[in-house]
C-alpha cells in the first residue's frame, strides 16, 4: 500500500468520521464494543485542530484519507488526542508516521513532550505507544486541563483504571 502524510486540508474534513468509525471496529476484537460504537469526533473538531496546524492525514494514491492524527496544545505538553487508521490500512507504518509528525511538532514548538491517554493493555494502544518511546506519566505530571479525563470516562461507562496517561520526551 502506498500512502503519504500531509497536513489535513478542508476537503478532508467530511471524510474523517468514516476513517474513525472504521478504525474503531477493531475494539470489538478486545471486548470494547462501547468504544467501537462511539460517535466519531465532530467535523468541527478536525477543522479546529487543522486550523492550528495540529491535524495530519495519511492519504492513499487517490488522495483519500486512510488515517489521521489530531493534537492539541496543553502547555507545557502537546496532547495527542487521537490517532485513527482504517482497518485496511493498519499495519503499514501509517500510525508511526502520523505520530512522528506530532513528535516533530512538539520538538519544533519546544514542548516538554507529547502526552496521551490510552488503554493500557489493548495491543494497538499502550503496548504500541511504548514501542514508540512513550512511557506511563506519573499523576503529578498530568496537565491540569487533562486531569478530569478519568472522571469523564467513568461517566461514559468506561473503566478509567484500564487506561493510562503516557508521555514521550524529545531526545537531546
Domain residues for 147? 3-168
Report the CATH number at residue 101.
Answer: 3.40.630.30
Structural contact between residues 29 and 47, judged by C-beta atoms closer than 8 angstroms:
no
What is the block-wise mean pLDDT of the chain (172 residues), using blocks of 10 residues? 97 98 96 93 98 99 98 95 97 98 98 96 97 92 89 92 96 74
Query: How many independent structural domains does the chain possess?
Result: 1
Record the pTM.
0.95
C-alpha cell at 56: 495530519
d(CA 115, CA 99): 11
Q: Give residue 52's pLDDT.
A: 98
Cross-sheet strand order for the sheet of 55-60: 3-7, 55-60, 65-74, 77-85, 113-119, 163-168, 135-136
Amino acid at each position: 500500500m502506498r500512502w503519504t502524510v500531509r497536513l489535513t486540508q478542508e476537503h478532508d474534513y467530511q471524510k474523517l468520521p468514516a476513517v474513525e468509525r472504521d478504525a474503531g471496529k477493531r475494539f470489538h476484537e478486545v471486548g470494547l464494543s462501547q468504544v467501537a460504537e462511539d460517535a466519531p469526533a465532530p467535523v468541527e473538531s478536525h477543522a479546529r485542530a487543522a486550523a492550528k496546524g495540529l491535524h495530519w492525514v495519511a492519504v492513499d494514491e487517490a488522495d483519500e484519507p486512510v488515517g489521521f492524527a489530531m493534537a492539541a496544545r496543553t502547555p507545557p505538553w502537546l496532547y495527542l488526542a487521537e490517532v485513527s487508521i482504517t482497518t485496511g490500512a493498519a499495519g503499514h507504518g501509517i500510525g508511526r508516521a502520523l505520530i512522528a509528525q506530532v513528535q516533530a511538532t512538539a520538538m519544533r514548538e519546544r514542548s516538554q513532550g507529547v502526552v496521551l491517554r490510552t488503554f493500557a493493555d489493548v495491543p494497538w494502544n499502550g503496548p504500541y505507544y511504548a514501542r514508540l518511546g512513550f512511557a506511563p506519566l506519573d499523576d503529578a505530571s498530568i496537565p491540569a486541563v487533562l486531569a478530569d479525563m478519568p472522571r469523564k470516562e467513568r461517566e461514559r461507562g468506561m473503566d478509567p483504571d484500564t487506561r493510562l496517561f503516557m508521555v514521550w520526551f524529545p531526545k537531546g
